[in-house]
Structure 1
Amino acid sequence: MATSPLPVFNSDSCPKPKVEKAMHNIFVTQPEETRQRKEDTDSHISAVPGTSRIPVAGVNTLKKTMVMRKRAELDEMDTRLALKQQQFRSCMEDLAHRRSELEKQKQQDKERVKKFEKFVAENEIKRRRALKKCEATQEQNALKQKEIEDLTEQLKQLRVRKERLKERMVKYKIFEDFLMQTLDYLPSIYCNNESESLVMPIIWRHETLSITHQDLLQRLEHMEAEVEQSQQQLGSMKQEHSIKQLMANKELSELQSELETLKERNKQAEVNLLMVQGVSREKVDEVGRLLMAINNLAQQCYLPAYGPLESMNTLTMLDMVKECILDKADTERRVKRLMGSASAVTTTAAVTDKRWRGSMKSLGSKTQIKSSSKVSKKK
Structure 2
Amino acid sequence: MATTSLPVLDSSDPRLKLKVENRKRNVFVTQAEDTRHKKEENVNHIPVVTETSSRLLEAGVNTLQRTLVLKKQAELVEVDQQLALKRQEFKNRVEALARRRSELEIKQQQTKDRAMKFEKFVAENEVKRRRALMKYEAARELNISKQREIEDLTEQLKQLRARQQVLKARMAKYKIYEDYLMKTLDYLPSTYPDNGSESVVMPIIRRHETLSITHRELLQRLGRLEEEVEQRQRQLQIMKQEHSIKKLMSNKELSELQNELETLKEKNKQAEVNLLMEQGLSREKVEEVGCLLMAINNLAEQCHLPAYGPLENINILTKMDMVKEYILDKADTERRARRLMESGSAMTCRTALTDKRERGSMKSMGSKTQIKSPSKVSKKSETMS
- Taking structure 1 as the reference length, the TM-score comes to 0.52
What per-residue deviation string (whole Å, max 9, x for no partner) do you get for residues 278-307 of structure 1?
A: 322222222222322333344356599xxx
Give 1:169-318 correspondences, 5 Å limit: 169-186=171-188, 188-194=191-197, 195=199, 198=203, 201-240=206-245, 242-244=247-249, 246-247=251-252, 249-251=254-256, 253-300=258-305, 302=307, 313=321, 314-318=323-327
Q: Report the CA distance between 1:212 and its aligned residue.
A: 1.6
Partner in structure 2 of residue 370 of structure 1:
none
Taking structure 1 as reference, are residues 109 and 257 closer, same or farther at Cα in structure 2, changes over 3 Å only? closer
Taking structure 1 as reference, are residues 122 and 173 closer, same or farther at Cα in structure 2, changes over 3 Å only? same
**Cα pair 1:298 1:317 within 8 Å, conserved:** yes
Give 1:40-51 correspondences, 5 Å limit: 40-43=41-44
Q: Report the CA distance between 1:179 and its aligned residue.
A: 2.8
What per-residue deviation string (whole Å, max 9, x for no partner) do you get for residues 104-161 of structure 1?
A: 9859956984796489459736853556555554554444444334333332332222
Query: Could you tell me how far apart the structure 2 residues matched to 1:323 and 1:251 are?
Result: 75
Structure 1 regions of 5+ residues with no counterpart?
1-18, 45-58, 329-379
Partner in structure 2 of residue 31 of structure 1:
27
167, 170, 177: which is aligned to 1:168? Answer: 170
Taking structure 1 as reference, are residues 302 and 36 closer, same or farther at Cα in structure 2, changes over 3 Å only? farther
Q: Report the CA distance between 1:217 and its aligned residue.
A: 0.8
Deviates more, 1:135-144 or 1:78-87: 78-87
Partner in structure 2 of residue 154 of structure 1:
156
Amino acid at match of 2:181: L
- Taking structure 2 as the reference length, the TM-score comes to 0.52
Partner in structure 1 of residue 374 of structure 2:
none
Q: RMSD over aligned Cα, in angstroms?
A: 5.9
Taking structure 1 as reference, are residues 94 and 233 closer, same or farther at Cα in structure 2, changes over 3 Å only? closer
Query: Could you tell me how far apart the structure 1 residues matched to 2:290 and 2:83 are?
Result: 126
Query: Could you tell me how far apart the structure 2 residues matched to 1:318 and 1:86 are?
Result: 116
Query: Could you tell me how far apart the structure 1 residues matched to 2:275 and 2:43 are?
Result: 145
Query: Could you tell me how far apart the structure 2 residues matched to 1:324 and 1:107 are?
Result: 110
**Cα pair 1:297 1:321 within 8 Å, conserved:** no
Q: Percent identity?
A: 23
Deviates more, 1:126-135 or 1:82-91: 82-91
Taking structure 1 as reference, are residues 108 and 39 closer, same or farther at Cα in structure 2, changes over 3 Å only? farther
Amino acid at match of 1:318: I
Q: Report the CA distance between 1:263 and its aligned residue.
A: 4.2
Q: Report the CA distance between 1:165 and its aligned residue.
A: 1.4
SS at 1:41 equivalent: coil
Amino acid at match of 1:124: N
Q: Report the CA distance between 1:276 and its aligned residue.
A: 1.9
**Cα pair 2:305 2:326 within 8 Å, conserved:** no
Taking structure 1 as reference, are residues 193 and 286 closer, same or farther at Cα in structure 2, changes over 3 Å only? closer
SS at 1:153 equivalent: helix
What per-residue deviation string (whole Å, max 9, x for no partner) do you get for residues 138-191 of structure 1?
A: 554444444334333332332222212111111121222233334344554441
Structure 2 regions of 5+ residues with no counterpart?
1-17, 46-59, 338-385
Q: Report the CA distance between 1:229 and its aligned residue.
A: 2.1
SS at 1:191 equivalent: coil
Q: Report the CA distance between 1:208 and its aligned residue.
A: 3.1
Partner in structure 2 of residue 4 of structure 1:
none
Taking structure 1 as reference, are residues 203 and 290 closer, same or farther at Cα in structure 2, changes over 3 Å only? same
Query: Could you tell me how far apart the structure 2 residues matched to 1:86 and 1:255 are?
Result: 88
Q: Would you say how many aligned residue pairs link Structure 1 and Structure 2?
A: 291
Taking structure 1 as reference, are residues 120 and 32 closer, same or farther at Cα in structure 2, changes over 3 Å only? farther
Query: Could you tell me how far apart the structure 2 residues matched to 1:297 and 1:71 are?
Result: 133
Query: Could you tell me how far apart the structure 2 residues matched to 1:37 and 1:203 are?
Result: 177
Taking structure 1 as reference, are residues 210 and 93 closer, same or farther at Cα in structure 2, changes over 3 Å only? same
Higher helix share: 1
Partner in structure 2 of residue 340 of structure 1:
none
